[in-house]
Chains A and B, each alone.
Chain A
Amino acid sequence: MRLPLSRLLAALGAGFIACAAHAAEVQIAVAANFTAPIKEIAAEFEKDTGHKVVASFGPTGGFYTQIKNGAPFEVFFAADDTTPEKLEKEGDTVAGSRWTYAVGKLVLWSATPGYVDDKGEVLKKNEFKHLSIGNPKTAPYGLAGIQAMEKLGLAEAIKPKLVEGSNITQAYQFVATGNAELGFVALSQVYKDGKITGGSAWIVPANLYEPIKQDAVILSKGKDNPAAKALADYLKGPKAIAVIKAYGYDL
């Protein structure tokens, strides 16, 4: 009896080693606005490759500080293109691994159906009490919202009514709870499978704001992790791109 058991154990052990070599874990930091799509993509990726994704969601600036201070992230999906570029210049990334994984679209959204018209006239009427926006200093969608209002010549008139979320998720939350009548959020937050999921919205024309290019990069911590490279490749593949587009991003 002894021999088969030890053989079994050996076989099991070999199996584990083999699995460990193939399936790795990758830790990623993801901009808040990309939370829903990356969850969907990660689930597919795990099924297709056997690798495991451990994702943290948060503000891009906050992640930058954490990465500079030794956070264990291996791939970083930022809400802008400047932060990954900055990390690249500072030598915290795998050279040449940076790419644009999505181009964000700005939307003026209200939780109340019929409140926002499809031309954004509601901005000119200016009859609301609070307009929610991501902090323009740190949130790219917040900055885009300010640019759009400036292009429309409404920035000064609306400024006293602005309430800022620390990121785009919080800006969305202020509108979703009805505390702000409307707000500039990411289309990805209120859009699924080709339509707005609730309330009313105006998709802000792209010529009113600088393109919101969202870049991702493999960080130095992930340079020897096959799962990091595999995830980056997966995000560039047709399956992931279909998901990204279904959430209202351009590419």
Chain B
Amino acid sequence: MPLTGLDLSAIWLTLELASLTTALLLLIGTPISWWLARTRSRLKGPVGAVVALPLVLPPTVIGFYLLVTMGPNGPIGHFTQSLGLGVLPFTFAGLVVGSVFYSMPFVVQPLQNAFEAIGDRPLEVAATLRASPWDRFFTVVLPLARPGFVTAAILGFAHTVGEFGVVLMIGGNIPDKTRTVSVQIFDHVEAMEYAQAHWLAGGMVVFSFFVLLALYSSRRFKPALG
């Protein structure tokens, strides 16, 4: 077996992190995307821009600010300490919080596009049939936006798996808690353990290829909208 126990635990931890992050992002991202898609508020621009920030900011910026704000002297750190939760850096929960922020645009943007593509018409028709707002959302919007949800989930998951800079900066490289595959690969390369680095890095390439293959294949099944 070319992979050590530490490698395997890093893989497992990464999958756990990505799954939890994706689930949370779908929960948080859906209302945000819906609001962004439907609102005429002046806040649409600023909120959209904040959500998209991680697309353009280097992970070092995000990691640095997360480290400072979540630390014992930062505002988030004060908040979590007042709740008796301690501080988030060096914990799995901290990585989840960081990843949710970092992968947010990859979930929100596909959802927002899907919601916008539905348009007003199907919702108005449903309303004339006396469907309540919740009814409309669950029986009209969700089925029509399904491809958007698939894309959002795949991208959110894959992007979290591929996260490196943020994890490196707030994780502290603790086995089973914050040592993800990307950090483990970095360690192997730094320690000149190229053989082990190859196994993990090659695995990432194959994994990412199949994830994207699934994504691009699923596009073919996208129903015509509008």
Residues 159-179 of chain B, each 1 if its beta carbon lies under 8 Å from chain A, else 0: 000000000110011100000
A195 to chain B, nearest CB (A): 24
Query: Is B189 located at the chain interface by the 8 A CB criterion?
Result: yes
Q: Which of B22-30, B65-73, B120-128, B209-217 contacts A (4 or more CB under 8 A)?
A: B65-73
Interface residues on A, range: 20 to 34
Nearest Cβ in chain A — how far from B91, in angstroms? 10
| A135–B183 CA distance with the chains assembled, in angstroms | 12
Complex contact B67–A62 (CB within 8 A)? no
Contact of B191 (CB < 8 Å), options: A61, A130, A132: A61
How long is the Cα–Cα vector from A174 to B67 in the complex, in angstroms? Answer: 8
A44 → chain B, closest Cβ, in Å?
30
CB of A166 closer than 8 Å to a CB of B: yes
* Given A61-B189, A65-B189, A65-B192, A135 and B71 contact (CB-CB distance below 8 Å): no
Q: Collect the chain A residues with CB atoms within 8 Å of residue B67's CB.
A: 173-174, 177, 179
Decide yes or no: A179 and B89 within 8 Å by CB, A135-B173, A163-B173, A173-B67 being known contacts. yes
Interface string of B66-82 (1 = CB under 8 A from A): 01101111000000000
Shortest distance from the beta carbon of B171 to any chain A beta carbon, whole Å? 8
Give bound CA distance, A173 to B190, whole Å: 19
Interface residues of A in 84-112 (CB under 8 A from B): none
Chain A residues, Cβ within 8 Å of B89: 174, 179
Question: Given A59-B190, A61-B191, A62-B189 in contact, is the A163-B71 Cβ separation under 8 Å?
Answer: no
B87 partner residues in chain A, CB cutoff 8 A: 179
A138 touching B190 by the CB < 8 A rule? yes
Dominant secondary structure of chain B at its interface with chain A: loop
- B106 close to chain A: CB less than 8 A: no
Instruction: Indicate whether B186 reaches chain A with its CB closer than 8 angstroms.
Output: yes
Are B190 and A61 in contact (CB-based, < 8 A)? yes
Is residue B92 within 8 Å, beta carbon to beta carbon, of the partner chain?
no
Return B193 CB to nearest CB of chain A, in Å: 9
In the bound complex, residues from chain A placing their C-beta under 8 Å from that of B115 are: none
Q: Does A115 belong to the interface (CB within 8 Å)?
A: no
CA distance A138 to B192 in the complex (A): 9
Per-position 1/0 for A42-68, Cβ under 8 A of B: 000000000000000001011011000
Chain B residues with Cβ under 8 A from A62's Cβ? 189-190
Contact of A179 among B90, B189, B190, B191 (CB under 8 A): B90
A-B contact pairs, 25 of them (CB 8 A): A61-B190, A61-B192, A62-B190, A64-B192, A135-B173, A135-B190, A137-B187, A137-B190, A137-B191, A138-B187, A138-B190, A138-B191, A162-B174, A163-B90, A163-B173, A164-B172, A164-B173, A165-B172, A170-B169, A174-B172, A178-B71, A178-B73, A179-B89, A179-B90, A180-B90
Not counting A59-B190, A130-B90, a sample of 8 additional A-B residue pairs whose C-beta atoms are within 8 angstroms of each other reads: A64-B192, A65-B192, A130-B172, A163-B172, A164-B173, A165-B173, A166-B186, A174-B67
Taking beta carbons and an 8 Å cutoff, which residues of A are in contact with B?
59, 61-62, 64-65, 129-130, 132, 135, 137-138, 162-166, 170, 173-174, 177-180
